[in-house]
Structure 1
């Protein structure tokens, strides 16, 4: 298995701390991966996904939104920042990372991190978008989907989704008018964290491997960047 080589970059006061994990060999593509609403950039999910992607030749950049960085500093939980601030932090991080790599650069993330990235993908003209457990609607509110922009999305996109995700299950998502630029990869009986039902005979590790395989295959496909 490929070893992870990690660095921390401190680009400036206006940009959050960025951590990068690189394959030992030359990366085929780079991905900025943002965390979800309730867990930091080094949560087990983020760490395990990063390790798997790096092993598959993907350079992974991670950062924390301001509210999560403050929680790490103070130990007190805080709700996510207003959307405008989350989006601006995404712009700042993307601008910084874009200066560090001349290759193909994708953006995305877990849940909220991926949703924020999806709102900026066309604006930033990124090479690709990757969402892991996309929150198509808030918990218990499928009647209020967050999909209007997904119908017009132009950026090549991969969404890896659990079939029983409480924020977007397979049957519900099938009724949404999604852009033809979006590819959905479904994981059998998986929830929002890509964990399958025990009775399925599948394991979380298998689903994380399958998710990483799907992302790596998508990013290795040179056709997505024209």
Structure 2
């Protein structure tokens, strides 16, 4: 989460090639006291330029757009090397697994369908602005099912230097996050306070160079920290 998200309203950049869609999102978001729409872009190329210039906290990104699609734009925004990069929330009309996984691998912090409610949109913006990642149980199940497919064998975690830096408790927390557990649920399992869990999660993300819990789930399954059905 960027400093501005902590110190003031969440600054949002809207990216969609349909003007009416952007206008609708703006109306929904700007009635909230803690959210400010700082710009709009109609294609991915423009979104990359505006994200660099405006440094929003959250980018609401459509997938199918002219000039540069939303997935390519997301990769460029999240991988631009800046100290503070926006969290990207993908919004699409299409509930497709290829879009879901491509967006998460591109560095998106969440994935939301446009047929959701205004409340869903507002909540999602706040969640990704906090750096938590939008990891709904349905998304978690689909991530897990992908890695459960025959022929998908994650590498041995002992071969990954980053994982070796985790303490046993941090690795345990990562495994629970990968199974979709909330901070409250993790605290119950480990018999610790929720604040302690938040500290462990933050340290895990920092050590592994991950943005949020969504990326932590993918990382954990790719590197064998947990295995489907295990």
Same fold (TM over 0.5): no
Larger helix proportion, structure 1 or 2?
2
Q: Give the TM-score of the pair, scaled to structure 1.
A: 0.42
Question: What is the TM-score when the length of structure 2 is the normalising length?
Answer: 0.41
Q: Hey, which of these two has a bigger chunk of strand by percent?
A: 1
